[in-house]
Amino acid sequence: MSENKTSWTLKNTIGGLMGTMVVILIFACPALEITKIILFKLANNEIIYKNYIIEYIYFVMMITFPLGLLFSAIRNRCCNMKGLLNYIREQLFCIPFLILIVSIIYTQMTSHEIKPIPDSCPSSYPYKLSITRTACIIRLINFIIMWTFTSLLVILSIVDCFGYFPRKEKDKTIDTRLSGFFPPDRDDEMHNKGKP
């Protein structure tokens, strides 16, 4: 009994840490993106947007998470971890893979936006404007946070799919959890008509 309780406590602790990281990243992604957009506009003599549409698509997509969290907190009139984990769990089905696709497209379309400035934003590079290096660093941090968030969401969705999140329903296997997504086999006469 003690070993089972320790396992449950470990799951809760890991789930709480992962949930906290996700919440921090949920707010960091749109904040960094809007900061990047503003700084790029201020440094427009040296950095020119080539694909600003993807910037706004990514921003709109990322801002839905904190707005959803705030709406969920207001709707539930509380900000407890259980409600937060339930909200995140509800979002974990297709959104991580959509974000993965958008992140890949975003990375591909914005990978050359600061050329000839190196991606590492070295202080030894002769920037024309001092704000350009700041914009470069924010861009780099934005990429790191975006891919951390995307990776964490994909990992969490896989972990949740296999039932490793702490939950009250015991003995829910992947088959029983996915059964709601797939219709049962049909054995009615219409389906079997014409088959030997």
Cβ atoms of residues 25 and 152 within 8 Å: yes
Question: Based on C-alpha coordinates, what's the Rg of the chain?
Answer: 22
- The pLDDT of 98-107, averaged and rounded, is 89
pLDDT tens for 49-96 read 777 888 888 899 889 888 877 777 777 665 555 665 666 666 556 678
Short-list 101, 67, 72, 65, CA closest to 86: 72
Question: Cα-Cα-Cα-Cα dihedral of 155, 172, 66, 106, to 10°?
Answer: 30
Of 40-49, 102-111, 187-196, highest mean pLDDT = 102-111
Local structure of residue 88 (DSSP, 8 states): H
